[in-house]
């Protein structure tokens, strides 16, 4: 007991030294910064604008370190581009545009999007430029004046963006007025972009520690060890992107034409009419997005009218030939005001025109011929039908025709039972027959 009393103070002192160590919680692992990434490829259209705006909104709500846009585009629609650049200029999250992978380009609308980023980078073997507006008229003083207005507005827009981001405004103006382009090395030297990066990891390492200014003020990026989270297009954006392709819209419109006419010439099928109506609406919606030429639509409508008329009017194929020519010119005019990458493929136009002509000559023609053919069933189909006498016709009796028993009257003397007869007329519920050898 004496030994325990003497050892107790020492034990309590040792326990007191150990308690703070035991009570101290284990240190939590450091939270890595997050960078959202989206891939923008192809035409800048309403689907692209919706995709980028959603990514900016989600990045702001999650308060991530930055939003990375990997860009590869030949250009696109001015309205969609304006929506994107406006959202980028007013974003509270730092936005990095990376023209990649190797071989990619940021042309036309892509120049504006690259300039609007807080930081811009390009991968090796990429290019940027050729931002002259395309898509106004086909000559004439009014068209030239309108093109000049659009060009001047685009120049003022990109110069303002360049001043906001501290980039080369003179080169940007030449890209709009003269459609100049630059490789990644030229762009970095001219201060069109901030740096050249091999890939996303190299880019995040290179921009780590750089300061950018958003609407919330200056911010220093910490991206060296950032966790990259991809954001992909949702179903709605993918559907809108599909409709933004003029070739898809053209195919849908022609499916609509074929389906609706097939239903008109064969009433009661229902399915062709439903599919055709849906496809027609979607095709017109696609062309509404692309702002097509109304003259092209009128020529296509004229072509369909000629196809139908050739079925009703003996024209020896002249109207069908005229319809093919009208259809081809109409399809070319549909998107002739747009940039080349927004125009319908000529091979597709010719192929569809020939397919439509074949459809009207054979499929619809067969339906029209069937409507004009004599009735083969029911009481109207009795005349000319062949049957058998079930009783002696002296001159009246019973005959079996088309699966039914009819009262009959012989027109040429007496017809014995079992004799083959042919119906030559009908009087109410009685048929007139004559013997068949």
Contact 259, 276 (CB under 8 A): yes
The full DSSP string for 127-191 is: EEE--------SSSHHHHHHHHHHHHHHHHHHHHHHHHHT--HHHHHHHHHS--EEEHHHHHHTT
Can you say how many angstroms the Cα of residue 412 is from the centroid of all Cα atoms in its chain? 72
Contacts of 324 (CB under 8 A, 6+ apart): 303, 353, 354, 356, 357
Catalytic residue, chosen from 149, 211, 379, 407, is 149
CA distances from 356 to 284, 343, 406 (A): 18, 20, 47
Residue 312 annotated among the catalytic residues of the structure: no
Residue 326 annotated among the catalytic residues of the structure: no
Question: Could you give the CA distance from residue 77 to residue 109 in angstroms, rounded to a whole number?
Answer: 7
Contact 176, 132 (CB under 8 A): yes
The length of the chain in residues reads 437
Cis check: omega of the bond before 434, within 30 degrees of 0: no
Which residues are the active-site residues?
108, 149
């Amino acid at each position: 007991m004496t030994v325990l009393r003497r050892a107790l103070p020492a034990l309590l002192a040792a326990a007191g030294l150990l308690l703070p160590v035991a009570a101290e919680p284990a240190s939590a692992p450091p939270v890595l910064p997050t960078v959202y990434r989206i891939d923008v490829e192809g035409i800048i259209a309403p689907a692209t604008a919706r995709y980028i705006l959603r990514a900016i909104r989600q990045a702001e709500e999650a308060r991530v370190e930055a939003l990375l846009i990997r860009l590869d585009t030949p250009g696109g629609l001015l309205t969609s581009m304006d929506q994107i650049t406006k959202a980028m200029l007013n974003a509270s999250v730092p936005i990095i545009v990376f023209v990649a992978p190797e071989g990619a380009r940021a042309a036309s609308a892509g120049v504006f999007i690259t300039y609007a980023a807080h930081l811009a980078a390009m991968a090796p073997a990429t290019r940027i430029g050729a931002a002259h507006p395309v898509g106004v008229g086909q000559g004439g003083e009014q068209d030239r004046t309108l093109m000049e207005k659009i060009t001047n507005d685009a120049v003022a827009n990109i110069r303002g963006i360049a001043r906001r981001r501290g980039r080369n405004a003179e080169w940007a103006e030449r890209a709009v007025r003269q459609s100049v382009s630059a490789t990644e090395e030229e762009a970095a030297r001219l201060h069109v972009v901030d740096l050249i990066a091999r890939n996303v990891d190299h880019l995040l390492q290179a921009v780590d520690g750089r300061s950018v200014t958003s609407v919330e003020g200056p911010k220093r990026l910490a991206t060296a060890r950032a966790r990259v989270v991809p954001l992909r297009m949702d179903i709605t954006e993918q559907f809108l992107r599909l409709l933004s392709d003029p070739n898809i819209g053209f195919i849908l419109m022609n499916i609509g034409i074929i389906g609706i006419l097939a239903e008109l010439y064969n009433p009661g099928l229902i399915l062709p009419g439903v599919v055709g109506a849906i496809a027609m609406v979607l095709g017109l919606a696609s062309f509404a997005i692309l702002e097509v030429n109304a003259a092209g639509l009128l020529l296509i409508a004229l072509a369909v009218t000629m196809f139908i008329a050739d079925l009703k009017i003996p024209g020896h194929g002249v109207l069908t030939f005229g319809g093919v020519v009208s259809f081809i010119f109409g399809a070319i005019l549909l998107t002739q005001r747009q940039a080349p990458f927004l125009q319908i493929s000529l091979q597709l136009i010719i192929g569809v025109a020939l397919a439509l002509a074949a459809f009207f000559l054979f499929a619809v023609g067969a339906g029209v011929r069937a409507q004009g053919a004599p009735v083969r069933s029911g009481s109207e189909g009795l005349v000319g039908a062949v049957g058998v006498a079930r009783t002696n016709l002296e001159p009246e009796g019973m005959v079996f025709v088309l699966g039914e028993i009819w009262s009959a009257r012989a027109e040429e003397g007496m017809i014995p039972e079992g004799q083959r007869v042919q119906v030559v007329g009908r009087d109410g519920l009685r048929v007139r027959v004559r013997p068949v050898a």
